[in-house]
Structure 1
Amino acid sequence: MGVALLEEKNKSSNYIPGLGDFSSLITPSPAADEDASATADNESGKKCGPPRPQEQPLRSAMDDEPESEETEEYYVDPGKHKYMKVFACSDSEQLASEICANLSTTKGRAYTGKFADGEVIVKILDEVRGQDCYIIQISALRRASARSITLVTPYFAYARWVTRHMESEGVAGDPALTQPATPLAASDIALMYEAMGVDRIVTVDLHEGSLEGCFDVPVTNIDPLGLPLKYFLGKDLHNPVIVAPDSTASDRAFLFWRRLQNHGVNCGLATMVSNRKLGKREFLLLISRDFGRDCIIVDDIIDSAKRMSRTVKDLRQHGARRIYMYATHGVLSPAAMERINRRGVTEVVITNSLPFPEHARKSEKIRVLSLGQVLAEVMLRIYEEKSVSQMFWDNQKKEGSKRPSGTATV
């Protein structure tokens, strides 16, 4: 009976191909068949319930036998997220697939094409009237009468252009970027999103927290440090030191140091302080002068890797043992890969907030952590009108330790 229902569902016009052969097998809507249900497996290996033996046929609520509690775990509630739609642009398909897999839903269908003159056309192929949409194709969904539009942009472009005295790493011929004529592009992007109908922004690890003030709509800035925390806790680190490559990264490095301390890791904290007027860099070790230690450089973006390269050089001069680099957003320009492969950095850890560049795939020094599960949980909490900050409350409760007092210039 269950197999027949599944075959009928596949033939119906409501069936939407999704993440793979079986990742999008979601039950029909209650309006179409209130009693039918099916399973939803995703590519990452997570299932909606315990594994079913291969010889056991697909079951339906219409079978004669009453459903047991164990049987109910095999199925996804077809109406749980029926007013939620997730759309992806071409360069975020993989991350969107992971998010949908964690939400046990399929991606919304949209067509994106180009005219001969390069203009882009976007057509929404699903009904979105009255739906809560999490999207990239903003204005097209607004015109289709979506109830709300949440823009999920893990990497907020132009976030480094939030002040006139922006850092100019990675920009050729850049002295003029510190002049009063420098545009505040981040603010312009914020206005553009709002003009196109965005109701909420979800992003990850903004370069400048002050950027949230550029928006009139709610902004959810996700703290992703739990991902590298779990990763490095699994490493056999020797007397580690957390290093901020610049004063602008010191707060982020301090938060990571504090979380490691809260998990029982006795580690040091250091920062590189640049005096841009004098063109000098000073190395400040806030905890312990001992070296021959493993170092973890913590930053938000690795683009040209110039700052990483300088910091690695300084750490080597002070006797560092192994040097790791964590950056949330891996822009990884070709010049960055040359520096990563040439310099003495042991490993560079990033997230998949940006598509992984093709020229970086051959490097054995890059590790990518997935934001899929975190973003899916945030989106679900927004959809169900639950607190997003509660996700990170456990870490926040533990972070009661104080910033180390006293500095030692090495």
Structure 2
Amino acid sequence: MGVNYEEKPLKIFSLNGNTPLAEKIAATFGVKLGDCAIKQFSDGEISISIEETVRGVHVYLVQATNQPVNDYYMELLIMIDALKRASAKTINVVLPYYAYARQDRTAKPHEPITAKLIANLLQEAGATRVLTLDLHTVQVQGFFDIPVDNLFTMPLFARYYRDQKMTGDDYVVVSPKNSGVQRARSLGEYLNTTLAIVDQEESDPNGGYVIGDVKGKTCIMVDDILNTGATLAKAAKFLKDAGAKEVYACASHALLSPPAKELIENSEIKTLCVTDSCLTAEERHPSNMEYISCGELMGDAVKVIHENKPMSPLFKLEEKCFD
């Protein structure tokens, strides 16, 4: 039996981070986004007011935290506080991109752990649950004392490449850096390919080498965060130098900070595939980039959360991706 939405009402609100994605999530329920007003004073302070009642309502608050990341996080914290004071029953934060997750440990003495700091801020503000997509490292979930659901983009990319018949022995899935091996292995299992790694030397812009056989094969690089594009562009050159036939790439979160557009367009990457987890200006988009939407996936996740159904089918998505 389905949930009675009159007995368990919900509303979906969007802040300024990624309203188009929020609209896709709301479309899963056939509802419009909730009404709120966001303005910024001349000194940079942010003011938010909720323009409709949320008393006793389960609220799902969508906010991507790409650039300007600090403004978007302040919007999120202020809105959570407003919802708490307006007596929302639950405040479920939907973070398509969890910024500050890259610093999840102290690599050197006296460094902050910003991933933990953000978790503390969200909880102290009043969030009761977090739904996110492809965390930089899955252990970030452990920084929270509230439920956290971390969805994966690999099934979405697998569907994209399977639709183009890019599977089997003629293809290699590549991690463009050592830290992304698990992500590459996951996509490789979906596509039935072998695996390779580009070991890049951070201290030397020209240093690095390919681990694995890529000669005469088409490579598909996979990463989570595409910021300036330097990592992918450099790895693509190493792959071509190692004899790769063609190089493709995909990334979960396209931040596209300058000079990403120029680096990707002038690289050996034939096509770059990204999700719409981050909203960026069109003039920053490389001409060889394609989008696939994570809206339906995140909308389905909101629905199973609200209906108290198992989340596990969304982590795999075999039937949905490959029907």
Q: TM-score range by the shorter chain?
A: 0.7 to 0.9
Contact 1:334 1:359 in 2 (8 A): no
> Partners in 2 of 1:81 and 1:349 — Cα distance?
41
> Partners in 2 of 1:208 and 1:359 — Cα distance?
30
Note the C-alpha offset of 1:272. Answer: 1.7
Report the equivalent of 2:31.
105
Distance 1:81 1:318, change over 3 A: farther
From 301, 325, 330, the counterpart of 2:249:
325
Contact 2:253 2:277 in 1 (8 A): yes
> Partners in 1 of 2:114 and 2:5 — Cα distance?
41
From 4, 10, 15, the counterpart of 1:89:
15
Note the C-alpha offset of 1:358. Answer: 3.1
> Partners in 2 of 1:312 and 1:305 — Cα distance?
11
Q: Does 1:256 align with 2:187?
A: yes
> Partners in 2 of 1:276 and 1:336 — Cα distance?
18
Contact 2:93 2:130 in 1 (8 A): yes
Note the C-alpha offset of 1:82. Answer: 6.2
> Partners in 2 of 1:115 and 1:180 — Cα distance?
38
From 175, 178, 185, the counterpart of 1:247:
178
> Partners in 2 of 1:153 and 1:380 — Cα distance?
15
Distance 1:290 1:377, change over 3 A: closer
**Higher RCO by CA contacts (8 Å cutoff, separation 6 or greater):** 2
Distance 1:220 1:230, change over 3 A: same
> Partners in 2 of 1:322 and 1:352 — Cα distance?
25
Report the equivalent of 2:40.
114
Q: Does 1:359 align with 2:283?
A: yes
Tell me the SS of whatever aligns to 1:87. strand
Distance 1:109 1:145, change over 3 A: same
Note the C-alpha offset of 1:115. Answer: 2.1
> Partners in 1 of 2:42 and 2:235 — Cα distance?
46
Q: Give the RMSD, CA atoms, in angstroms.
A: 2.2
Report the equivalent of 2:64.
none
> Partners in 2 of 1:251 and 1:284 — Cα distance?
15
Note the C-alpha offset of 1:278. Answer: 8.9
Report the equivalent of 1:227.
156
Report the equivalent of 1:282.
209
> Partners in 2 of 1:97 and 1:246 — Cα distance?
34
Distance 1:186 1:392, change over 3 A: closer
Tell me the SS of whatever aligns to 1:103. coil
Q: Which runs of 4+ in 1 moved over 6 A?
A: none
Distance 1:106 1:81, change over 3 A: farther
Contact 2:200 2:235 in 1 (8 A): no
Distance 1:98 1:371, change over 3 A: same
Task: Summarize deviations over 1:54-99 as a string: whole Å, max 9, x none.
Answer: xxxxxxxxxxxxxxxxxxxxxxx99468601100012311111111
Task: Summarize deviations over 1:297-332 as a string: whole Å, max 9, x none.
Answer: 011011011111111111110121221111100011
> Partners in 1 of 2:294 and 2:6 — Cα distance?
23
Report the equivalent of 2:114.
185
> Partners in 1 of 2:214 and 2:98 — Cα distance?
38
> Partners in 1 of 2:120 and 2:9 — Cα distance?
27
Distance 1:290 1:115, change over 3 A: closer
Contact 1:332 1:357 in 2 (8 A): no
Report the equivalent of 1:309.
233
> Partners in 1 of 2:90 and 2:217 — Cα distance?
50
Distance 1:78 1:111, change over 3 A: farther
Report the equivalent of 2:260.
336
Distance 1:81 1:106, change over 3 A: farther
Report the equivalent of 2:270.
346
Q: Which amino acid aligns with 1:269?
A: L
> Partners in 2 of 1:125 and 1:277 — Cα distance?
52
Tell me the SS of whatever aligns to 1:91. coil
Contact 2:272 2:290 in 1 (8 A): yes
Note the C-alpha offset of 1:259. Answer: 1.2
Distance 1:290 1:207, change over 3 A: closer
Q: Sequence identity, in percent?
A: 30
Higher strand share: 2
Task: Summarize deviations over 1:329-348 as a string: whole Å, max 9, x none.
Answer: 00111211111011121011
> Partners in 1 of 2:80 and 2:31 — Cα distance?
20
TM-score in terms of structure 1 length: 0.69
> Partners in 2 of 1:214 and 1:82 — Cα distance?
29
> Partners in 1 of 2:218 and 2:234 — Cα distance?
17
> Partners in 2 of 1:224 and 1:112 — Cα distance?
30
> Partners in 1 of 2:199 and 2:313 — Cα distance?
34
Tell me the SS of whatever aligns to 1:295. strand
> Partners in 2 of 1:305 and 1:278 — Cα distance?
17
Q: Does 1:161 align with 2:103?
A: yes
Tell me the SS of whatever aligns to 2:119. helix
From 273, 284, 294, the counterpart of 1:371:
294
Report the equivalent of 2:65.
none
Task: Summarize deviations over 1:184-229 as a string: whole Å, max 9, x none.
Answer: 1111111000010000111000001111111111110001211111
Distance 1:242 1:124, change over 3 A: same
Q: Which amino acid aligns with 1:187?
A: K
Q: Larger Cα Rg: Structure 1 or Structure 2?
A: 1
Tell me the SS of whatever aligns to 2:142. helix
